[in-house]
Amino acid sequence: MEEYIPTKVWLAWSSGKDSAWALHALRQPAGERRGEPWPGEVEVTALLTTVTGIYDRVSMHGVREELLSRQAEAVGLPLRTVTIPPDCDNERYEREMARAMAEARAEGVEAVAFGDLFLADVRAYRERQMARAGMRALFPLWGRDTAALARRMVAAGLEARVSCLDPRRLPRELAGHLFDEEFLRLLPPGVDPCGENGEFHTFAFAGPMFRRPVPVEVGETVERGGFVFTDLKPAGSARTAGERS
């Protein structure tokens, strides 16, 4: 019998809850996945993250690159970063991403998975971008009810904190808040429970997709460029040592 080889996939990893849950979904056996937009087994071989070089932080989420690296270690996957400048134009972004896709193809990767939920224009853009690079785009969470998905994440033990929010949509006081039942109750009407419209972004630090938690501490909250960012820091060395013992 011919041996079946799973499709090698990189996962677009924002450091937030949706990409973490996408990893969880991708790791489920094909027979246990329902309504997913691809057949057969997949093997996630790396995480792909865009980092703003001058700040050494995840683009848009504002998460420190050190925490990003600890995340990758905690989920057991290598990290591939695409470094871009602040206010990066689309031409530069696509050029840097094309280089990353060339590296992916050289490693036998056939597809990139994204944690997008329902924004059709975003999905179409990603599909065009991947097609130009000779890759497929996968969307393991596509079309799910976001209110139900948010509750399922919390119930399953996914833990995350709000790293960035749009103060035009959410109270500033929710910056740094745990993504939990209380947070979901406090969301103003019209705000997507998963923040799919850019209302907020998160940093995931524990859950079923992690081998171990990533200890974090909540730092200063500031407003930049019309968004509110809470600086999440790696937990103190003494606590970190205790986690490893």
Asked if residue 140 lies in contact with residue 113, where contact means CB atoms within 8 angstroms, the answer is: yes
Q: Is 229 among the domain residues?
A: yes
pLDDT of residue 189: 96
Residue 81 has pLDDT above 60, yes or no: yes
Torsion sign across C-alpha atoms 139, 145, 150, 153: negative
Q: Tens digit of pLDDT for each residue in 122-151?
A: 999 999 999 999 999 999 999 999 999 999
Residue 144, CA distances (Å) to 3, 117, 118 in order: 33, 7, 8
Q: Tens digit of pLDDT for each residue in 159-175?
A: 999 999 999 999 999 99
Spatial distance between the Cα atoms of 48 and 42, rounded to a whole number of angstroms: 16
* 229 beta partners: 164, 222
Q: Is 59 among the domain residues?
A: yes
- Residue 236's Cβ-side half-sphere holds a number of Cα atoms within 13 Å equal to 2
Residue 237 has pLDDT above 60, yes or no: no
Q: Taking CA 231 as the corner, what is the angle to CA 46 and CA 67, rounded to the nearest 5 degrees?
A: 25
Mean pLDDT of the chain: 89
pLDDT of residue 90: 84
Residue 40 has pLDDT above 80, yes or no: no
Q: Is 19 among the domain residues?
A: yes
- Give me the number of domains the chain comprises: 1
Q: Which of 30-39, 59-68, 179-188, 214-223 has the lowest mean pLDDT?
A: 30-39
CATH number at residue 192: 3.40.50.620
Q: Is 1 among the domain residues?
A: no
Residue 194 has pLDDT above 80, yes or no: yes
Please report which confidence band the pLDDT of residue 37 belongs to, taking 50, 70 and 90 as the band edges. low
**Read out DSSP for the chain?**
-PPP-PEEEEEE--SSHHHHHHHHHHTS-GGG--S-SS-S-EEEEEEEEEEETTTTEETTT--BHHHHHHHHHHHT--EEEEEE-TT--HHHHHHHHHHHHHHHHHTT--EEE----S-HHHHHHHHHHHHHTT-EEE-TTTT--HHHHHHHHHHTT-EEEEEEE-TTTS-GGGTT-BSSHHHHHHPPTT--TT-TTSSEEEEEEESTT-SS---EEEEEEEEETTEEEEEEEEPPHHHHHHHH-
Q: Is 2 among the domain residues?
A: no
pLDDT of residue 131: 94
Q: Which residues span the domain enclosing 22? A: 7-244
Q: Tens digit of pLDDT for each residue in 217-236?
A: 999 999 998 999 999 999 86
